[in-house]
Amino acid sequence: MPTPIDPASPLQLGALELPNRLFVAPMAGVTDRPFRMLCKQLGAGYAVSEMVTSRKDLWHSLKTSRRANHEGETAPIAVQIAGTDAAMMAEAAAYNIDRGAQVIDINMGCPAKKVCNKWAGSALMQDEPLALQIVEAVVAACAPHGVPVTLKMRTGWSQQHKNAETLARAAEQAGVAMLTVHGRTREQGYKGQAEYDTIAAVKAAVRVPVVANGDITSPEKALAVLRHTGADAIMIGRAAQGRPWIFGDIAHYLATGQHRLAPRTTEAKTWLLAHLHDHYGLYGEFAGVRTARKHIGWAVRALPGGEAFRQHMNTLDTCNAQLQAVADFFDLLSVQHDRLPEAALVLDDADDAPAAHEAACSAH
């Protein structure tokens, strides 16, 4: 079993240095700029933005322009692009570089049936020549700017067609600077368990950094995955929802072998309120209040009274009412709990995640 890498050590990505090896996964509808910044503030070394479509006609839509908004974001700015046409993907890369992207990530991991009305994301893994054409075109578009290209994929198309290793070798040859592998096939969606043997095989097959992703929910699991795969970094998605301090928890555990204490209730309140202010700043009141509900729901879901609070909070329509309700909830909780009570983490239901994903990916 390989000795795991020190996740607190920096990672070189092209000319960029990532401060550590604990990454937050791109999640459409979740990892907007406010959430990425929160994760970075609480220990994530790297965050990839939500997918931006390669369809030019949608670039000026409110949704895409919000996604391409990186104001005040801690560098490096990494933007994920998705699409099925090599020339359009190359243009999308150049467009995002013009808007501040320092890394371009190609999405071959998205399980949603369609991205912008065409099969894209992990479906590309089924068509290796097209996948490679896209990689080559995007690398060619990014190279003059010195912008590294990364690729996020699954273990393969189906249990019978696990081609991550083949694709990884080809992508490396084509100039990809880092690979992320989610340990499920496209066919699996979010069902079943992520497996790490294929990620270990990819790591052994290439020289560029490999990032392991899928079902990492605790410091112990993080250590186990790093050991099993020999990966250079890990990426966490759903377990960071409502728990953005998980990156710091993992770093602490890997450095000391000890769990650190749960955050103080007042600290969690301060982080959430600051996140909400930032969130409303990006979305405005109407959309902001509504899209904040899921973040608040995740933050309280495992807490005493969380479910009743979530239902009540969903009836509130203004930023002030939402902020006040959140503050009151945590103030009341802090009377009995100086620190957040430990509770089992429940990931988004396997059946809900693809639906949420698809909804988030499709409308622009």
Ligand X SMILES: Cc1cc2nc3c(=O)[nH]c(=O)nc-3n(C[C@H](O)[C@H](O)[C@H](O)COP(=O)(O)O)c2cc1C
Q: Which residues bind ligand X (CB under 6 A)?
A: 25-30, 50-51, 80, 107, 109-110, 152, 182, 213-216, 236-239, 348, 353, 356-357, 360
142 catalytic, yes or no?
A: no
CB of 320 to ligand X, least distance (A): 28
Instruction: Name the catalytic one among 110, 116, 319, 361.
Output: 110
User: Which of residues 39 and 356 has its CB atom nearest to ligand X in the complex?
Assistant: 356
Using the Cα atoms of residue 53, residue 59, residue 61 and residue 67 in order, give the sign of their dihedral.
Answer: positive
User: Which of residues 27 and 303 has its CB atom nearest to ligand X in the complex?
Assistant: 27
Torsions phi, psi for 209 (to 5 deg): -60, 140
Q: Quick one: DSSP state of residue 115?
A: B
User: Which of residues 15 and 355 has its CB atom nearest to ligand X in the complex?
Assistant: 355
Q: If you search the block for the tokens 């990492």, which residue do you land on?
A: 216
Question: Distance between CA atoms of 112 and 361, rounded to whole angstroms?
Answer: 7
Question: Distance between CA atoms of 248 and 33, rounded to whole angstroms?
Answer: 19
State which residue has the least CB distance to ligand X: 237
| Helical segments of the chain, H only | 33-41, 62-67, 86-98, 128-142, 164-173, 197-205, 219-229, 246-256, 265-300, 306-313, 319-336, 352-362
Residue of 106, 112, 184, 192 lying closest to 151 (CA atoms): 106
Question: Distance between CA atoms of 13 and 245, rounded to whole angstroms?
Answer: 24
User: Which of residues 39 and 319 has its CB atom nearest to ligand X in the complex?
Assistant: 39
CB of 45 to ligand X, least distance (A): 15
What are the Cα distances from residue 187, in Å, to 113, 161, 167? 10, 10, 17
User: Which of residues 18 and 333 has its CB atom nearest to ligand X in the complex?
Assistant: 18
Question: Distance between CA atoms of 16 and 145, rounded to whole angstroms?
Answer: 13
CB of 26 to ligand X, least distance (A): 4
CB of 53 to ligand X, least distance (A): 11
Between β-strands 16-18 and 11-13, what pairing exists: parallel, antiparallel or unpaired?
antiparallel
- Taking the alpha carbons at both ends of the chain, their separation in whole angstroms is 45
User: Which of residues 74 and 362 has its CB atom nearest to ligand X in the complex?
Assistant: 362
CB of 112 to ligand X, least distance (A): 8
Catalytic residues: 110
